[in-house]
Amino acid sequence: MSEVFNVEQIFGQNLFTLSKMKERLPKNVYKEVVKVMDQGGELSMDAANVVAKEMKDWAVEHGATHFTHWFQPLTGITAEKHDSFVAHPDEEGKMLTEFSGKELIKGEPDASSFPSGGLRATFEARGYTAWDITSPAFLKESTCGTILCIPTAFCSYTGEALDKKTPLLRSMEALSQQALRIVRLFGNTEATKVVASVGPEQEYFLVDKDLYMKRTDLMFAGRTLFGAPAPKGQEMEDHYFGVIRERVGAYMKDLNEELWKLGVTAKTQHNEVAPAQHELAPIYETANIAVDHNQIVMETMKRVAVKHSMRCLLHEKPYAGVNGSGKHNNWSITTDNGVNLLDPGETPNENIQFLLVLACIMKAVDTHADLLRQSASDVGNDHRLGANEAPPAIISIFLGEQLEDVVNQLIETGVATSVKEGGKLLTGVSTLPDFQKDATDRNRTSPFAFTGNKFEFRMVGSSDSIASPNTTLNAIVAEAFCEAADRLEKADNLEIAIHDLIKEYMTKHQRIIFNGDGYSDAWVEEAKRRGLPNIKSMIEAAGTITTEKAVKLFERFGIFTKVELESREEIIYETYAKTINIEALTMIDMAGKQIIPAVVKYTKMLADTINAVKEAGADASMQTELLGTVCEKLAAMQSALTELKDAEAQASKIGDAKEQAFYYKDTVRMIMEKLRTPADELEMIVDKNIWPIPTYGELMFEI
């Protein structure tokens, strides 16, 4: 009988969990680890040595040969440099593997080639990685063998963060401290910390490997730069939640198994809206672990696809004309004694706390809408936001009918005496309605939607790290909590002070609430009237992180220094310019070496045909007309190609990163469109046997 697959047995098999530590570590060392995990601080070197030895022994027992400090530089993906456990053999030639506490806790990769936005000169290559003890080490199995991965933060010699993890951890601490002040106001003395939880829903496309290999654009840019629409797209709505194809099913099965082994709680899988588009969602967990796990999910998706002779596309917009991919970032905040601050709760007492939290979040999101929008921007996401398939680039909050009604009542009269649908009637200043879970319909068009006991931030791009959105969310909410607590802690009559503050915040920031259709043009107009920012692109959003307001926020809570923010802004411009540069060069390559030569061949075929038809004494006017059209579009392509080459040469001369990025956005991208349009039109005319690259139909339906 074949072995029965048991998910309980394999779950976390490749993860050095707390329970494994408990089993293997002496009691006092285990206690020290748990203490540092809960309360921060550093492990003593003695304890670190013991942990390192046990971790290594466990890893070696599972076939590991190397370890790596696994970190998340500003490239948005992860980085690793492997060191084997091999040590110097003794006189008899016997080798015993080694791994010290020092190696576990700190690393010093030569880090000169990671983006640093000027924070670290190349001659000053030192970068340090430090173990994030709260995220468990794991074993990565690949053709390299089995590697022990130790999640770390990555900083410069002078202590500046060079990664996405460090600021995230800092923001989590800030949020915890400030949220504790809020729950203390309500008599919660038990909670010792407040944790941000995150559940990211990951969308992706699959494509056949052989077809992918014939598309230079997919290989280099991760998206198609040419391609006419297929006769069938997503209009039948038959893919969403449809039956999963055999090949995709086998992929998902493997993917789940790999993820479960790594302790990632892969939970939901389904087909998405576009053909060949799918989604995976894990169960939510603590923000930093969710960020790590999302990186593992993206990496595993790609690796498993290769095993199945496919490729996984995480780009936000692989194909024009069909939906792109995003990542819904579900976020909530919970005390360590189990109170979700975003849960409306059952007793009026907790409802007041909820309303205060809600008022603070309204204030935070309204005050820092620009930052939140920025945190969800990457090059690919510029194709999605505001393109009628994803939320607009305007930040607003969806509360649902029921909650919005409560907010309106509070604003108008200072008391919420009724609750829609629930039918409960309560009176008095401190009595507030007992909300049912959001009974109203969902609103898929909102960028920031309240969904029962969490907010769903829907702007994030599919390929992007979720570190920045969560760092920003934590930071802005920490600030609002802090300002509220500053006032309320001093209040003579707390009940009245809370009531006044809720009313004040909700009134002042009411404009951020929008329950209507976020995809409509009317909303764009309305948002403008309300004075809400509508920042159209990634590079227009970049400057928001260095405004006085942003620097004040991030410095106040020790999340970013001004210098770190400036360096990150610089990196955004660089990343943008580099990405569009690659896209433009890829287009030049494809147009010049593949598409134009193929079309030229086709014109020769047509010309030969015309001559032959004429010689045979028949009418060749149709063929002549076709040849005329093809030549016209070919000329348009050739002229755009020349223009694009010139623009590229121009771009490379611009020294200032910001100026260069804007040149790519405003000039190079426009010319790329000019080159694509005639090429896509030609694809619809030219003999299929001559067209040099797989079509949209093949890419999306042949799987």
Q: How many alpha carbons lie under 13 Å from residue 531 in its C-beta half-sphere?
A: 7
* Strand ranges (E), 251-402: 266-271, 277-282, 285-286, 310-313, 327-335, 397-398
* Residue window 303-332: x/- pattern of binding to Mg ion, with contact defined by CB under 5 A: -------------------------x----
Decide whether 328 or 658 has the Cβ nearer to Mg ion. 328
Decide whether 132 or 272 has the Cβ nearer to Mg ion. 272
Decide whether 442 or 604 has the Cβ nearer to Mg ion. 442
**Binding status of residue 257 toward ligand ADP by CB under 6 A:** no
206 binds, among ligand ADP, Mg ion, none (CB under 5 to 8 A by kind): none
* φ and ψ at residue 398, rounded to 5 degrees: -100, 125
- Residue 130, beta-bridge partner list: 106, 153
* Residue window 72-91: x/- pattern of binding to Mg ion, with contact defined by CB under 5 A: --------------------
* Residue window 450-479: x/- pattern of binding to ligand ADP, with contact defined by CB under 6 A: -x-xx-------------------------
Residue 202 host element (H or E): strand 194-208
Size of the site for Mg ion (CB under 5 A): 1
CB of 17 to ligand ADP, least distance (A): 19
**Binding status of residue 241 toward ligand ADP by CB under 6 A:** no
Rounded (10°) CA dihedral 141, 144, 145, 149: -60
CB of 343 to ligand ADP, least distance (A): 8
- The answer to whether the beta carbons of residues 287 and 245 sit under 8 Å apart is no
Determine which residue in the list 109, 127, 136, 199 makes contact with ligand ADP, applying CB under 6 A.
199
Supply angle C-alpha 395, 401, 403, rounded to 5.
80
CB of 286 to ligand ADP, least distance (A): 10
- Give the residue from 99, 118, 115, 96 showing the smallest Cα distance to 107: 99
* φ and ψ at residue 102, rounded to 5 degrees: -65, -40
Residue 402 host element (H or E): helix 401-413
DSSP secondary structure letters along 514-574: --S-TTSHHHHHHHHHHT--B--SHHHHHGGGGSHHHHHHHHHTTS--HHHHHHHHHHHHH
CB of 329 to ligand ADP, least distance (A): 9
Contact window for ligand ADP (CB under 6 A) among 66-74, 403-411, 448-456, 642-650: 448-456
State whether residue 464 is helix, strand or coil: coil
- The answer to whether the beta carbons of residues 286 and 333 sit under 8 Å apart is no
The pair of structure tokens assigned to 227 is 């391609």
282 binds, among ligand ADP, Mg ion, none (CB under 5 to 8 A by kind): ligand ADP
CB of 443 to ligand ADP, least distance (A): 11
Site for ligand ADP in 267-306 (CB under 6 A): 268, 281-284
- The answer to whether the beta carbons of residues 486 and 343 sit under 8 Å apart is no
CB of 456 to Mg ion, least distance (A): 6
State whether residue 453 is helix, strand or coil: coil
Contact window for ligand ADP (CB under 6 A) among 329-337, 371-379, 504-512, 536-544: 329-337
Decide whether 328 or 568 has the Cβ nearer to Mg ion. 328
- Rounded to whole angstroms, the Cα distance separating 399 from 513 reads 7
Site for Mg ion in 630-689 (CB under 5 A): none
CB of 295 to ligand ADP, least distance (A): 15
State whether residue 44 is helix, strand or coil: coil
Supply angle C-alpha 74, 75, 78, rounded to 5.
95
Show Cβ contacts of residue 179 under 8 Å, excluding neighbours closer than 6 positions.
194, 333, 335, 341, 477, 478, 481
Q: How many alpha carbons lie under 13 Å from residue 601 in its C-beta half-sphere?
A: 13
Site for ligand ADP in 331-360 (CB under 6 A): 331-332, 340
**Binding status of residue 330 toward ligand ADP by CB under 6 A:** yes
The one-character DSSP state at 82 is E
Task: Name the residue with tokens 């190696």.
Answer: 103
Decide whether 329 or 409 has the Cβ nearer to ligand ADP. 329
Decide whether 71 or 354 has the Cβ nearer to ligand ADP. 354
* Residue window 327-366: x/- pattern of binding to Mg ion, with contact defined by CB under 5 A: -x--------------------------------------
Show Cβ contacts of residue 121 under 8 Å, excluding neighbours closer than 6 positions.
none
CB of 144 to ligand ADP, least distance (A): 30
* Residue window 139-178: x/- pattern of binding to Mg ion, with contact defined by CB under 5 A: ----------------------------------------
453 binds, among Mg ion, ligand ADP, none (CB under 5 to 8 A by kind): ligand ADP
**Binding status of residue 361 toward ligand ADP by CB under 6 A:** no
Decide whether 156 or 451 has the Cβ nearer to Mg ion. 451
Decide whether 114 or 204 has the Cβ nearer to ligand ADP. 204
- Give the residue from 385, 379, 383, 537 showing the smallest Cα distance to 447: 385
Determine which residue in the list 54, 201, 316, 680 makes contact with ligand ADP, applying CB under 6 A.
201
Contact window for ligand ADP (CB under 6 A) among 449-457, 507-515, 585-593, 663-671: 449-457
- The answer to whether the beta carbons of residues 149 and 72 sit under 8 Å apart is no
Decide whether 401 or 643 has the Cβ nearer to ligand ADP. 401
**Binding status of residue 326 toward ligand ADP by CB under 6 A:** no
User: How many other C-beta atoms can be found within 10 angstroms of the C-beta atom of residue 645?
Assistant: 15
Residue nearest ligand ADP by beta-carbon distance: 199
Residue nearest Mg ion by beta-carbon distance: 328
The one-character DSSP state at 157 is T
DSSP secondary structure letters along 96-152: -----HHHHHEE--B-TTS--TTSS-TT--BEEEEE-TTS--EEEEETTEEEEEEEE
CB of 259 to ligand ADP, least distance (A): 13
332 binds, among Mg ion, ligand ADP, none (CB under 5 to 8 A by kind): ligand ADP
CB of 450 to ligand ADP, least distance (A): 11
Decide whether 197 or 377 has the Cβ nearer to ligand ADP. 197
The pair of structure tokens assigned to 347 is 């007793």
CB of 331 to ligand ADP, least distance (A): 6
CB of 40 to ligand ADP, least distance (A): 23
- Rounded to whole angstroms, the Cα distance separating 60 from 57 reads 5
User: Applying CB under 5 A, which residues contact Mg ion?
Assistant: 328
User: Applying CB under 6 A, which residues contact ligand ADP?
Assistant: 197-199, 201, 268, 281-284, 330-332, 340, 451, 453-454
